[in-house]
Structures are given as C-alpha cells and as structure tokens.
Structure 1
Amino acid sequence: GQKIPREYVIDFVERNRSFFEPLQPSFFELTSSMAFDYFRAEKVDYAVIEVGMGGRLDSTNIITPILSIITNISLDHTQFLGDTVEKIAFEKAGIIKKDVPALVGEVDRDSVARVFTDAAVKAGTQVYFAQDEGLLKESYLMDTGKWYLDSAEYGQLFGELGGVVQFRNAITVLGAINLLKAAGVDIPAEAIREGFEHVVELTGLMGRWQVLQQNPKVVCDTGHNAGGWQYLQIQLDDELKRHKHLYMIVGMVNDKDINSVLELMPKEAFYFFTQASVQRAMPAEGFAALAVSHGLSGVVCDSVPSAIEKALARAGQDDMIFIGGSTFIVADALPLFLKENE
C-alpha cells in the first residue's frame, strides 16, 4: 500500500526525458515504463500488472507473465477495441502467451468463450474458465457490507470489498490462486484469508462500493460500463428499498457505451448530472440530455464538488447519495470526504 516516492518519479523523468520526449508517449505508456523500472529497482517478488486498454496492443503487453487473467468482457472503448463483445474479446485475448496459463473470470456467451479458446490453442497454452471450477459453495453480502464466501478449498472467507460484483471477482481470484499454486507459488491459506479480509487496508484500493459517510449514507463506486452497472443496478435497487430517497451524482467520459449504462440507472432516483475535471469528461449538459431520453430526471451541475454540495443540502438523514459513472467522478469526490492522511 505504499506509493512510489516523489523523488523517484522526478529522477525517472530526468534520466529518460531525452528518450521519451521525441516519442510523445501517452501518460499511461510513460507511467507503465516507470512502473516496470521501479519494480526492477525494488526487486519485487511479484508484480500485478493491469492492462490499460484492450491487451493486444497495450503498452503493458511487452511482459511475459506467469499468469494472464481476463476478468470479463463488456462494451468499452468501442472506438478503439471494436463494437462487439467478440471483437473486444479478441483484443483482450492478445495477452495470452505461449506456455503461460490464462484464466477467464466470467463469460456469458459461447462465441466469446470460443475467442479465448482459439487464442490459447494458437498461442500454445491452456485457458481456464473460473466460473466452471466450482470454487465457491456459498456466498452472500452481510449486513456489515462484507462478503461471506464459503470456498471449496480454503473454508470461510470474508471479503472486505463491498459491491455485488465482488462475488464474481472472488471466484476469479480463487481461480488465479489455484493456478499460481500449481505453478509453484507458495500462497498459504492464512495469506488468502488475510488478503480477502483486508484488501483495502493492504492496497489502498478505493471506489469499490465505498461508504464515505452515514446519515445520509454516501457511497461511491467506479463502475463505468454496462458490465459493472449490471451489478450496481441490483445494489441500488436494494438501497432504494432501505432509504427514503436516492440521489445520484453521475457523469461519464466520452469513450464509454453511455446509452447502455444510462439504461441501467434507477429511474426512481433524483439526479445531479455533472462532469469530472478531465478533458475526456462528457459535458454535463450533453450527458443530462442523453439521460433524460432514458427517463432520468434531475439538475445539471458544472462540477463534482458543486453536485455534492447540492445533494448534501437536499438529502435527509434517511436518504442515500450515490457518486459514480466514471473513475474520474469518484476521484474528484474522494478528497471532499477523506482526510489528507488517508
């Protein structure tokens, strides 16, 4: 959970400026290079590398890992990755490599599964589908906001991350652990229990159905595509039964399948349509116009802090405020609720 030192970032830029400035890399490409450099300098035992977008042409794809994981497939970054789930699956399958086992967390159609199976055959490796492995015997979200998970191999686990989607993620994690152990990685059962129960504390991970305050209850979540919102929809519908009113502070970025997400947002809620402080943010006015066409209603706010101020002024003690639609919306909101040292 420790951040890279500021001095290392400055030194990396100074050392490599003459090389990368003529190339004009993206922010992600440059920071990926810095991460690899830092992991090498620190001699880390294991590095978990997340693809930026797609996989086949992603800057992270220069590595040869000991395990490749594809969580799920939904329409996202369609102007770059393709306009069907099969085309997107092909791009994501680009991380599958020779003699490196591949794990797919969730697949809901045969045509997508076939893309991964074909890619594995072509690469000369084996692909596994976590949902077929029978890894969980029972699971449910407890009143505490944690997941109860009765795993087939490690007994009772308690997942710290909130959100309905975390049940699916837990299956993927357990599948990954089994493949890593088969490859000779020593992962004690106690470490697995600790990891599930203290993942936020250990990693600093934020924005996964994170409760920011109570009375009124304020929750943020970084779900930003239809794959994430199919689970957020379930959870928000449940919250509607528990709270008098639901207020939604939402905005999205331009490269998402915005209409599919808006269709999943609760129509009974009152909305504060806004935009994050990044160039990619869809202007709040345009986002609101799209939302209205999906039966949603509310007011337009020019910034996330403004939307939060208005929502808090309007909400009663028994109400709930949700903040999301984009990782950048959540990023703008968090400093208003968390102390600097957190």
Structure 2
Amino acid sequence: MVDWSLAVTIGSMLAGDGPSVSRAEADEAVAELRADAGKSTGLVRDFTGLDAPDGTAPVLVVDRPGWVQANADAFQVATGAMMRKMVEKREPGRIAQLVGSKVTGAEVGGLLGFLAGKVLGQFDPFYEPAGRLLLVAPNIVHVERELGVDPTDFRLWVCLHEETHRVQFTAVPWMRDHLFSEINAISETLEPASLLDGGIERVTEAIKSGRNGGSIVDMFSTPEQREILDRVTGMMSLLEGHADVVMDDVGPQVIPSVDDIRAKFTKRRQGIGPLDRILRRLLGLEAKMAQYRDGAHFVRAVVDKVGMDEFNAVWTDAAHLPSKAELADPEGWVRRVLG
C-alpha cells in the first residue's frame, strides 16, 4: 500500500536541513540536549511521583531526515493492521499496486516532510521494546533563534516536556499496550471505500470551507471510529497537558527565563501564515493545540483539588483515564475515579 522508501526520500528532501550551524555549534547542541534529557528525568520524577526504570527507552538526538525515518518506521507499525485490511479489499493487479504504493508513498512523504520542520521532540511508543524519545536538534535551534530566547534555558524547557512523555510511558507500561489496542480497534472498524471514494474532493472542500474544522480525521471517521477517537483524545490530552504542567511548574526552579519562553512559544503555536494555518487545520494540528490547553487545565484543576498523589490514580488503570467530556469537567472525573 505504501512505498515507505519513497516516503522517506521525499520527506527528507522536503524537510531540508534546518538552520545553518557550524560543526562546533551542532556538537554543542547535541551534547546539551542529551545532558538535559538526563537531568530532566529526576526533575520529572520528583515533581510527578512517576518513577521510570532506567534504560527502558533510549533518548536519540536526531536531524530532520532522522525524524522522518523514525516516523516512517512508526507509521508502518501503527498502520500495519489497517494497511493489511485495505490491501485485502483492493482489486488484484501488480501494476495498480505499484502505482498505488508510489502515490501513497509520495503522500506520506509530503506529510512527513511538512511535520519534520515543526516537531521539537516526540516520544515514539511504537519502537520495540518500550519506545524511544526523539529530540530534533535543528528544529530546537531554529525555534530558539526565531524566538530570541536563551538557548540553554530553552533546550532544558523542551527536554522537560518531552522527557515527561518518556517517563509517562515507561513508568506506566500498560499505557503503551492500551494505545495499540485503540489503534487496532479503529482498524477493525475501517471501511476502505470510505477512505478511497471521493477522497480528493473532500480534502479540497475542507481546504476551501473548513467544514467540520477541516481535519482529515473529521472527514473520514465513522461514528464508531469517532467514539474510539474521543477516548484517544482524552488520553492524549492528558499526556500533553501533564507534560505542559511539568515543564511550566518545574521550569521556574531551574530555568530563569521560563516565563519569557512560555509567552513567546504560546504565541508561536498559533501558526504563522495562511498556508501554514490551512495545513495545520487539515492535518488536525489545531486540535493538537487544544489538547495541550484542555489537558493542562484538567491536570491543574485535579491537582489543585486533591493533590498530586491522588491525581496519580489516573495512571493506575485504563478505566481511570479522563474521557473527552471529563477534560472540561475535572470534578466529574474526581467523583467517578476517587469517589
């Protein structure tokens, strides 16, 4: 279904190399990010109470092509069941298969190429056996220059957020299997024709009108899939909001300019130009921004009411994860889970 080699080639080409840096500057940034990731582990543990075993998930500092390759690998794992189902539904024919794999490879490559210039860091839960943390050095350097912030402070601030994700998945190992099961549940409900018939027209219409928010997910998901996606949204909003709370609450203890960084970074999250905003909407990145906001509000509200120790009940069972509705009703979650 997908020519992954072509996807990586196109994605890497579109991503580019990032900002111009000398070899010494590049080496310094890589070394500092690795050290900051290690430093962040203890800071996250002390603040959250989550204790991740040592050596469970590696930390990799990568360039943009490295991020593209890592995410192509992750996509293959995440979409494996879905792709197999779509292949079963396709009409036979070697030429059609080859052409189709090239087209989808180019499409995936375009997506990866766009995102490769945006992502600062990412926890990849699909890497065996327990995931891995990716820090995209050229993007971090680009943003710190663009914002005019202190590089040392900004790099530690980014690492606090991303290391929180590594701690979440390694200190709470059932969560990785739970995410896999939700993705497989979506695959089970997949109707390939709904993705293939009239897809181009729907994408074009979404760009023009912003219908349903203009997200690809909104355009193609069935009611059954949306129910699953609502559960995943609750989970991902919790993870992103929790990481944002950690980076902002731990930050003042170790990052002198954290308030300046947060103010400038929040403004940047709104997007830059019209094309950037269209692509963000189409790819669902605007919904991603809402996850940070809604998740952080939920975490702060619960912690303020019951304290961090009681809040950590959220990590003990999949049934304790907040629903999408509970993100806006933290007291409802407290009543349901803590009684």
TM category (shorter chain) comes to under 0.3
Query: TM-score normalised to the size of structure 2?
Result: 0.24
Give the number of the structure whose residues are more often helix, by fraction. 2
Query: TM-score normalised to the size of structure 1?
Result: 0.24
**RCO comparison, higher one (Cα < 8 Å, 6+):** 2
Give the number of the structure whose residues are more often strand, by fraction. 1
